[in-house]
Amino acid sequence: MTDVKTQIDETVKANDVVLYMKGTKEMPQCGFSSRVAGVLNYMGVEYADVNVLADEEVRQGIKDYSDWPTVPQLYVKGEFVGGCDIITEMTLSGELDTLFDENGVEFNKEAADKIREANA
């Protein structure tokens, strides 16, 4: 498992934004992964996606790495942010905008506002 942990650590640190998910950003394989990828895609965030369904060691390894039991998992600048519920809450409250701003991650602020307007 050490090799997988090293692989995950390198991926998380080499990319500003990483989403460990079931499926890919183009073809999510579960509703929760689809929701988070949809938010990031709509907001125009550039991110690396890692399909945990492609590798059982990564699927378990990411849960061990973050000490978080579920996928998807979002990382920004090497830090674990959360899963679907947390990302949804952060998007609706504006906290995700703030997190991206503070970390120099480019995103479409108008798109973020539209998500909030549609869910008000």
pLDDT recorded at residue 90? 98
DSSP string of the chain, one letter each residue: -HHHHHHHHHHHHHSSEEEEESB-SSSBSSHHHHHHHHHHHHTT---EEEEGGG-HHHHHHHHHHHT--SS-EEEETTEEEE-HHHHHHHHHHTHHHHHHHHTT----HHHHHHHHHHT-
Neighbour tally for 3: CB within 10 Å: 9
Per-domain residue ranges for the chain?
A: 4-118
pLDDT recorded at residue 43? 98
Asked if residue 84 belongs to a known ligand binding site, the reply is: no
Q: pLDDT, tens digit, for every residue of 21-71?
A: 999 999 999 999 999 999 999 999 999 999 999 999 999 999 999 999 999
Question: pLDDT-based confidence at 1, cuts 50/70/90?
Answer: low
Contact at 8 Å (CB) between 22 and 28?
yes
Task: Look up the pTM and report it.
Answer: 0.96
- Ramachandran assignment for 78, one of left (phi > 0), alpha (psi -120 to 50 degrees), beta (any other): left
Q: pLDDT, tens digit, for every residue of 61-118?
A: 999 999 999 999 999 999 999 999 999 999 999 999 999 999 999 999 999 999 999 9
CATH number of 4-118: 3.40.30.10
